[in-house]
Amino acid sequence: AEEKKKKEYNFREFSTCEATIQMLQKAAADGVETAFQRAAEMKACPIGADSACCKHCAMGPCRLNSKDPYSKVGVCGATIDTIAARNFARMVASGCAAHTDHGMSMLDVFREVVNGRIADYKIKDEEKLRSVAASIGIEVEGRETMEIAKDLYEELERTYTQVDGEIPFVSRVPKKTLETWRKHGVVPRGAMREIMEIMHRSHMGVDQDYENIVKQCSRTALADGWGGSMVATEISDILFGTPKPLVAGVNMGFLKEDHVNIIVHGHEPNLFESMIDSVNDPELVAKAKEAGAAGINLLGMCCSGAEVLSRHGVPHAGNFMSTEAVIATGAVDAMAVDVQCIKQALVQMSECYGTKFFTTNPRAKIEGAQHVEFHEHEPRKCTNKVVEMAIERFKNRPGRVVIPQRRDMGVHGFSHEYINYMLGGTFRGSYTPLNDNIINGRIRGVAGVVGCTNPRVKQDWVHVELVKELIKNNVLVVQTGCSQIALAKAGLMKPDAAVLAGDGLAEVCETVGMPPVLGCGSCVDNSRILIACAEMVRVGGLGESIADLPVAGAAPEWMSEKAISIGQYFVASGVFTVFGVTFPTIKETKFHKLLFEGLEQMGFGKWGFAADPYEMARMMIDHIDKKREALGIMG
C-alpha cells in the first residue's frame, strides 16, 4: 500500500477537465486514491474485454481463445458466437432493466399523483400531458385533465406489463421502421416480458443461435428506448415541466465556500425535485445561517444533475469521472445518491473528507453509507434530513476547503418539442426548419453524442474532439448525460461556439441564436432524440424510415450496461451507432459481423467502433453522406 501511495501519476493523462485534474492532485497529496489510479493499476482483462469467456454454468467458467476464436468451444460446446451474443444479451437486459425500473418509479409517482395520494408533486405541464396522451390515441378533446391522466397511466403501465402485442409508444414509430420491426419479430411487448425472456434465452442450454439471440437483444432494447426510457422522460416532463432553453452553469467552481454545499447524484428526478424544495425552505435556510453559512447551495452530478440542469438551471458539478474528485474539495457537506453510476468508493472518499454521504433508495444501499430512505409520499422527510445533516457538517468542517475556480456557462434544456419550435414549429415549418436546412445542405446531418466518461480513456477528451470535428463539418450535435457535461465544460453549449462550426451550421445557429451543440438532458432523455428522428420522418417527410436519415450516434467514452442497451435500441431503430473505448466482440466472428454489417442489410442501423475521435467523426460523416446521397440531397 505504501508503494502505491508513493507512485507518481501525471494526472493530465487522466483527464482534460482542469477542475478534476486539480482535485486528483489534491487527493493524491492527501494520500487518497481514485478510480483513475485503480484503472491504471488494474489492466482490463483481455479475455473479458473480447467477451470470450462464459460463466453461465458450473461446468465452466470457460475461456475461449480470442486470437483464434473458433479453435475452441465451451464445455457444453457453446461457440464464440453463442458466448459473445449471450454476454451481450445480458448487458442489454441489465441496461434495459435499469432504465425501465427508473421509468416505472416515475410511473408509480404519477399513479399516486393521479389518485390524489401524493401531495408533494402535481401535474405541472398539462399541455405535455395532453400531447403525450394524444400521441398514443387517447381522446383529449373536451376532457378533464385528471380523466386523461388516469387513461394515460393505464396505457403506459402496458409498457411494462403487456404480455402480448405492441407497447403504446410504437404509435410514434415511422411506418416503414415499424414494418421492419414487424418483419423481423422485434416489436417489443412489455419490458418485464422482454427482460424475462432474454434472461431465459441466455441461460445455459437455451438459445444457441447468435442471430436469434440478437433479435431478442433488439426487442428488449426497443422496450427500453421506446418504452421505459420514453416513459421516464415523458412522465418527468408532465410532473416537473418540459425543459426549455435556459442559461446554466457547469463545473466545480459553483461550489461556494461560505455556503452549505449539497450534491445530488444519480438518476431519478423526484429526489432532486424535493431537494430543491428543502434547500429553499425558509426554516432550513435560517438554520444554515445560524450555523454561520451564507445560504444553502445545491448542485447536481451525473444524470439527475443533467436533468435538473436542463429543466431548472440548477448548476452541475461534473460528470461521472468527477464524482470522487469533487469530494476532495472538502467543500461538499453532503452528497445524496439514489440509483445508477454511484461508485462504491464514494463512501470511503466521503469518510476521508468528512462529507456526509447518504443513500436514499431501497434498491441501492452501500455498505458503510448512511441510508435515509426516500418515500414519494413523504419526500421531504428524507431531503430535509439530508439538509440538516449537511448544516451540521458545515458547522464542523474538518479540513481545508479548496474549490477549483472553473465555471462554465452555457444554454441547456433542448427538449424535442423546443427543437421543433425553434426550427420552425414543425420540422417542415416556414422558419429555418431542420429538414429544410438538411435538404439545402446548411446542416449536413444530425449526430447524437451521448454517454459516460471512463477512466480507461482521458476524461472528456474523446467527447470534445469528436463533437468539434462534427460541428466543423456542419453536423448538428444533440447530447445527453455525461457527454453533455463534457461539452458544457469545453464551452460548446454557448451560441458563440458557432464560430467553431462549418459555414452552413454557423449560419443556422446565428439565425436562430442557438449553439451548435444542443443539450437534451439525462440518459433516459435519449428518447427525445428518438422522437426527434421519428418526427423528421413522420412530420417532416425526410425519407421513409429512421434508417433513411442522415443521422448517426456515438458513445465515445461509454462504460455502463445501460449504454449497450441504448446503443442497441438506436441500432434497431435504424441509426449507425459508434462506440469508443472498447467493444465486447471479436472482429473476425459471425456475431461481430452481424452487429457491424448484417443488421444494416436487414433494414436496421448498425454498430461501429473507433477509439480515436477523428476516425469516429469520419465514420459518422461518411455514413451521413451515404444517406444524403440515397435521399438525393448531396451537395
Q: Does 539 bind ligand SF4 (CB under 6 A)?
A: no
76 binds, among ligand MSK, ligand SF4, none (CB under 5 to 8 A by kind): ligand SF4
Distance CA 192, CA 563 (A): 19
Distance CA 73, CA 79 (A): 5
Query: C-alpha angle with apex 347: 345 to 348, nearest 5 degrees?
Result: 70
74 binds, among ligand MSK, ligand SF4, none (CB under 5 to 8 A by kind): ligand SF4
Distance CA 379, CA 121 (A): 10
Q: Which is nearer to ligand MSK, 180 or 319 (CB)?
A: 319
Query: Do strands 53-54 and 62-63 pair parallel, antiparallel, or not at all (unpaired)?
Result: antiparallel
Extract the C-alpha cell encoding 156.
403506459
Q: Which is nearer to ligand MSK, 299 or 302 (CB)?
A: 302
- Choose the binding region for ligand SF4 from 27-35, 68-76, 106-114, 302-310 (rule: CB under 6 A): 68-76
CA 519 to chain centre: 11
Nearest distance from C-beta of residue 562 to ligand MSK, angstroms: 5
Residue 311's alpha-carbon distances to 269, 487, 519, in angstroms, are: 10, 18, 11
Helices and strands in the chain: count of H runs, count of E runs: 27, 16
14 binds, among ligand SF4, ligand MSK, none (CB under 5 to 8 A by kind): none
Q: Does 263 bind ligand MSK (CB under 6 A)?
A: no
Closest CA to 541 of 414, 633, 621: 633
Nearest distance from C-beta of residue 65 to ligand SF4, angstroms: 13
Q: Which is nearer to ligand MSK, 361 or 560 (CB)?
A: 560
How far is it between the farthest Cα atoms of the chain? 73
Distance CA 494, CA 487 (A): 10
Q: Name residue 54's amino acid.
A: C
Distance CA 408, CA 460 (A): 14
Distance CA 464, CA 295 (A): 34
Nearest distance from C-beta of residue 266 to ligand MSK, angstroms: 8
Residue 592's CB is within 10 A of a number of other CB atoms, namely 24
Q: Residues 12, 38, 55, 375: which binds ligand SF4 (CB under 6 A)?
A: 55
Q: Which is nearer to ligand MSK, 223 or 339 (CB)?
A: 339
Kindly identify the residues of this chain, within the stretch 466-525, that bind ligand MSK according to CB under 6 A. 481-482, 522-523
> Where do runs of H (alpha helix) occur along 142-190?
145-161, 175-183
- Choose the binding region for ligand SF4 from 76-84, 142-150, 292-300, 609-617 (rule: CB under 6 A): 76-84
481 binds, among ligand MSK, ligand SF4, none (CB under 5 to 8 A by kind): ligand MSK
Distance CA 539, CA 141 (A): 21
Contacts of 300 (CB under 8 A, 6+ apart): 263, 264, 265, 272, 306, 307, 308, 309, 314, 315, 316, 317
Q: Residues 69, 74, 174, 516: which binds ligand SF4 (CB under 6 A)?
A: 74
Kindly identify the residues of this chain, within the stretch 310-329, that bind ligand MSK according to CB under 6 A. 319-320
Q: Judged by CB under 6 A, how many residues of this single chain contact ligand SF4?
A: 14
Q: Which is nearer to ligand SF4, 7 or 203 (CB)?
A: 203
Q: Which is nearer to ligand SF4, 54 or 303 (CB)?
A: 54
Nearest distance from C-beta of residue 592 to ligand MSK, angstroms: 24
Query: C-alpha angle with apex 115: 112 to 116, nearest 5 degrees?
Result: 85
Nearest distance from C-beta of residue 303 to ligand MSK, angstroms: 3
Distance CA 280, CA 282 (A): 6
Nearest distance from C-beta of residue 596 to ligand SF4, angstroms: 23
Q: Which is nearer to ligand MSK, 329 or 484 (CB)?
A: 484
Kindly identify the residues of this chain, within the stretch 371-390, that bind ligand SF4 according to CB under 6 A. none
Q: Does 452 bind ligand MSK (CB under 6 A)?
A: yes
523 binds, among ligand SF4, ligand MSK, none (CB under 5 to 8 A by kind): ligand MSK
61 binds, among ligand SF4, ligand MSK, none (CB under 5 to 8 A by kind): ligand SF4
Q: Does 76 bind ligand SF4 (CB under 6 A)?
A: yes
Nearest distance from C-beta of residue 267 to ligand MSK, angstroms: 6
Nearest distance from C-beta of residue 47 to ligand SF4, angstroms: 13
Q: Does 61 bind ligand SF4 (CB under 6 A)?
A: yes
Q: Does 562 bind ligand MSK (CB under 6 A)?
A: yes
Nearest distance from C-beta of residue 59 to ligand SF4, angstroms: 4
Hey, what long-range contacts does 25-31 have (CB within 8 A, 24 or more apart)?
26/328, 26/329, 26/402, 27/324, 27/325, 27/328, 27/349, 30/328, 30/352, 31/5
Q: Residues 413, 451, 553, 613: which binds ligand MSK (CB under 6 A)?
A: 451
Residue 567's CB is within 10 A of a number of other CB atoms, namely 30
Q: Does 60 bind ligand SF4 (CB under 6 A)?
A: yes
Closest CA to 568 of 596, 534, 602, 536: 596
Kindly identify the residues of this chain, within the stretch 473-492, that bind ligand SF4 according to CB under 6 A. none
Q: Which is nearer to ligand SF4, 55 or 117 (CB)?
A: 55
Q: Which is nearer to ligand SF4, 78 or 132 (CB)?
A: 78
Nearest distance from C-beta of residue 290 to ligand MSK, angstroms: 35
Q: Does 78 bind ligand SF4 (CB under 6 A)?
A: yes
CB-side neighbour CA atoms (13 Å) of 190: 15
Distance CA 558, CA 146 (A): 40
Kindly identify the residues of this chain, within the stretch 279-308, that bind ligand MSK according to CB under 6 A. 302-303
Kindly identify the residues of this chain, within the stretch 160-219, that bind ligand SF4 according to CB under 6 A. 204
Distance CA 271, CA 30 (A): 32
Collapsing DSSP to helix, strand or coil, 584 comes out as: coil
The answer to whether 482 touches 319, Cβ cutoff 8 Å, is: yes
Nearest distance from C-beta of residue 451 to ligand MSK, angstroms: 5
Q: Residues 56, 489, 562, 627: which binds ligand SF4 (CB under 6 A)?
A: 56
Q: Which is nearer to ligand SF4, 177 or 202 (CB)?
A: 202
Extract the C-alpha cell encoding 356.
456526509
Distance CA 164, CA 177 (A): 20
Residues that bind ligand MSK (CB under 6 A): 302-303, 319-320, 340-341, 451-452, 481-482, 522-523, 560, 562
Site of interaction with ligand SF4 (CB under 6 A): 54-57, 59-62, 74-76, 78, 83, 204
